[in-house]
Structure 1
Amino acid sequence: MHRRPGPSVRLKLTLSYAGFLMFAGALLLGAVWVFLLRGSPASTFVPTLPDLLRAFDPSNFGPRVFGSAVFAAMGFLLVFGLVGGWVLAGRMLAPLTRITHATRMAANGSLSHRIRLPGRSDEFRELADAFDTMLTRLEAHVGEQRRFAANASHELRTPLAITRTLLDVARNDPTRDPGELVDRLHGVTTRAIDLTEALLLLSRADQRSFARERVDLSLLAEEATETLLPLAEEHGVAVRTSGDITATIGSHALLLQLTTNLVHNAIVHNRPEKGTVLVRTGVRAGSAVLTVENTGEKLTAESVSRLAEPFQRGSERVRTDHAGVGLGLAIVTSITRAHDGTLTLTPSAAGGLHVTVRLPAAPG
């Protein structure tokens, strides 16, 4: 943004300090005149050169000498105010100079620099600490986006490479059964479409470009469970839902996707047989809470902390018919954040995962 050049803040502060000092000096000298020299003739206050020389001798104090002292004191206050104000303004604005330097470095792409302003808390140090916090979050976000872009490129390249390989095989072997080729191409293309739709959904949630309405999480849990019931029966997993009306404000489609992703992950990443999934909803301490808990292998806190990252599929990156595209919990995280909520992943002591989503409860 182009601006016309103007006086610096340091110069403005200097002139302000000097002006205030001159004003205070004038008030002080005025008070002396009112209470001590008010009855003297006005002509006695006109100083001559000898009066100016005697103004600095306290034994020669008088009306004419007082007038000379006024001129000398005001001149001294002006010089002292300008010099002292310039020094004080420089010391006061030194932290702002460091903040400006850090801002310019961040604007040039250096997000690792921190101000770390020493000293006790004041307005400048609060600004510096807030700026350091912003840089930390921005650096982490940029790093996450770079990893996401690299992973997305890899995931999108894989189905394209498989498609090209299948087409090369078909071209080099005309006698090959086309039905098998079509089936494999259909599966690869479906997976690529699913990944693209997941990326679009993730982008939509990150941008918060959705209409908000009153949504009951208990109804979403029932709908997601009913939709995924065939998958649960295929995996031999029993799914149970419970809870009261749990209303929040948000996007019905996104929150349904959130619930479906959680239930889907709980079914797929479960015991080979006789596994269970518990889906509960309720309002606690002003928050609409959705919890999904499943049985399964024991997880460590370190592995659980990485599950919400894009393209993570539990402890192993295995590909099955229901492995998904590795964005299930990443989408859940993004949707939760877009609804000003929190997502908590906790490994169960007996095995499996306990997922808790807290969203602001709807009023009333």
Structure 2
Amino acid sequence: MDRAPGPSVRFKLTLSYAGFLMLAGVLLLAAVWVFLLRYVPERAMLINPDDRPTNGVFPVRSALLDVFAPRAAAVLAFLLVIGLVGGWLLAGRMLAPLTHITLATRTAAGGSLTHRIRLPGRDDEFRELADAFDAMLEQLEAHVAEQRRFAANASHELRTPLAVTKALLDVARTDPARDAVIDRLYAVNTRAIDLTEALLLLSRADQRSFTRERVDLSLLAEEATETLLPLAERCGVTVETSGDIAETAGSPALLLQLTTNLLHNAVVHNLPERGTVRMSTEVRPGTVVLTVDNTGERVAPRLVATLTEPFRRGTERVHTDHAGVGLGLAIVARVTQAHDGTLTLAPRSGGGLRVTVELPAAPPHTVR
């Protein structure tokens, strides 16, 4: 924003300090005049050495005023100089932390988020502002790093199907038997479309651009189960749903996508045969909970923390025909965050994973 030049804060504080000091000096001199000089008589008779009055009269108050006025003016001038010099130094010392904060702000505006203020000294308003700014820089640095990793991974994932599509088109131009090539090309194109839609959904969840409605997680679990039941049967996985009515406030589409992604992830990352998935809902004080348990290979605890990162998969045993695009749990994490919820992933002792999504409960219905 372009602004017209104006006086600095230090200059304004200096004038304020000097002005208050001058005002205090004027009030003090006025008090001296009002409470002391007013009791001095206008005139007094001269007294000779033998304590006898003479006929001469001496103007006492006017003489005293002639002596007091120039000295009072000198005192005010001295206070003005002291106020200006002292105020300038004092204002500079008080505003010194702002120099460090301004420098850090300009450094961050230039693209460097690694600089920190780390203002020394005891806690006060400036230190509190500096600490808050450092915390903001840390969050921004982490967010930018995450976005860069995401962009790199997304570019890699999108480049792969496009490269395969180009290769298949080159083959189709010279191969008389094009049916198999066309089927393969259709599958690759479908994967690219799914990935693009997943990226758009992830962006939508980050922006929180949705209208909140009352949503029952138990109904979403049943709907997701009906949708993915054919996939579960082909993979030899049994899906069980149970629980209470669990209402929250949010986007039905995003929460359905969250539930579907959790179930899809639990199905494809499961045992090669006789696997199970259990989805349950429950109501807790102030929150509602959706839990998904699935059998499968053992997952190392250190790996669990990375599963919500984009394009990360937890195990090698995946039903490759339905492996997804690597954004399932990443979308779950973003949708949960957009609904002010908590996502918890924990490995099961016998293998597999337990995923818990805890969301704020919907406000109670109002009775009219």
TM-score (ref. length: structure 1): 0.90
Aligned CA distance change for structure 1 residues 221 and 118 (closer, same or farther; 3 Å):
same
Report what 1:110 is aligned to. Answer: 112
Q: Distance in 1 between matches of 2:343 and 2:179?
A: 45
Report what 1:91 is aligned to. Answer: 93
Q: Distance in 1 between matches of 2:234 and 2:274?
A: 11
- Using the TM superposition, name which of 348-357 and 215-224 deviates more: 348-357
Aligned CA distance change for structure 1 residues 79 and 45 (closer, same or farther; 3 Å):
farther
Aligned CA distance change for structure 1 residues 165 and 271 (closer, same or farther; 3 Å):
same
Report what 1:237 is aligned to. Answer: 237
The SS at the match of 1:239 is strand
Q: Match of 1:103, as an amino acid?
A: T
Structure 2: where are the runs of 5+ without partners? 43-58
Are 2:362 and 1:362 equivalent residues in the alignment? Answer: yes
- Using the TM superposition, name which of 149-158 and 316-325 deviates more: 316-325
Q: Does structure 2 conserve the Cα–Cα contact (< 8 Å) formed by 1:241 and 1:278?
A: yes
For residues 15-94 of structure 1, the aligned pairs below 5 Å read 15-40=15-40, 64-94=66-96
Q: Does structure 2 conserve the Cα–Cα contact (< 8 Å) formed by 1:45 and 1:66?
A: no
Q: Does structure 2 conserve the Cα–Cα contact (< 8 Å) formed by 1:293 and 1:354?
A: yes
Runs of 4+ in 1 over 3 A off after TM superposition: 41-47, 62-69, 315-319
Offset at 1:41? 5.8
For residues 1-364 of structure 1, the aligned pairs below 5 Å read 1-40=1-40, 64-174=66-176, 177-316=177-316, 320-364=320-364
Q: Distance in 2 between matches of 1:318 and 1:229?
A: 17
Q: Distance in 2 between matches of 1:41 and 1:279?
A: 101
Aligned CA distance change for structure 1 residues 46 and 257 (closer, same or farther; 3 Å):
farther
The SS at the match of 2:38 is coil
The SS at the match of 1:290 is strand
- Deviations along 1:319-358, one digit per CA (max 9) or x if unpaired, are 7111000010111111112212222212222222121212
Q: Does structure 1 conserve the Cα–Cα contact (< 8 Å) formed by 2:268 and 2:319?
A: no
Q: Distance in 2 between matches of 1:272 and 1:299?
A: 16
Q: Distance in 1 between matches of 2:22 and 2:286?
A: 58
Equivalenced residue count is 348
Q: Distance in 2 between matches of 1:158 and 1:13?
A: 62
Structure 1: where are the runs of 5+ without partners? 48-61
The SS at the match of 2:39 is coil
- Deviations along 1:206-225, one digit per CA (max 9) or x if unpaired, are 12222221111111111112
Report what 1:58 is aligned to. Answer: none
Q: Match of 2:350, as an amino acid?
A: A
Offset at 1:64? 4.7
Q: Does structure 2 conserve the Cα–Cα contact (< 8 Å) formed by 1:44 and 1:64?
A: no
Aligned CA distance change for structure 1 residues 45 and 236 (closer, same or farther; 3 Å):
farther
Aligned-pair identity in percent equals 73
Q: Distance in 2 between matches of 1:45 and 1:196?
A: 95
Offset at 1:236? 2.2
Q: Does structure 2 conserve the Cα–Cα contact (< 8 Å) formed by 1:238 and 1:274?
A: yes
- Deviations along 1:210-265, one digit per CA (max 9) or x if unpaired, are 22211111111111122112222222222222222211111100100001001110
Give the alignment's Cα RMSD to 1 decimal: 2.0
Q: Does structure 1 conserve the Cα–Cα contact (< 8 Å) formed by 2:119 and 2:130?
A: yes
The SS at the match of 1:222 is helix
Q: Match of 2:158, as an amino acid?
A: L
Report what 2:56 is aligned to. Answer: none
- Deviations along 1:46-91, one digit per CA (max 9) or x if unpaired, are 67xxxxxxxxxxxxxx655443432222122111111111011101
Aligned CA distance change for structure 1 residues 247 and 67 (closer, same or farther; 3 Å):
same
Aligned CA distance change for structure 1 residues 362 and 282 (closer, same or farther; 3 Å):
same
The SS at the match of 1:321 is helix
- Deviations along 1:150-188, one digit per CA (max 9) or x if unpaired, are 1111111111111221222232333xx222112111111
Q: Distance in 1 between matches of 2:91 and 2:204?
A: 48
Q: Does structure 1 conserve the Cα–Cα contact (< 8 Å) formed by 2:104 and 2:115?
A: yes
Larger Rg: 2
TM-score (ref. length: structure 2): 0.89
Aligned CA distance change for structure 1 residues 46 and 357 (closer, same or farther; 3 Å):
farther
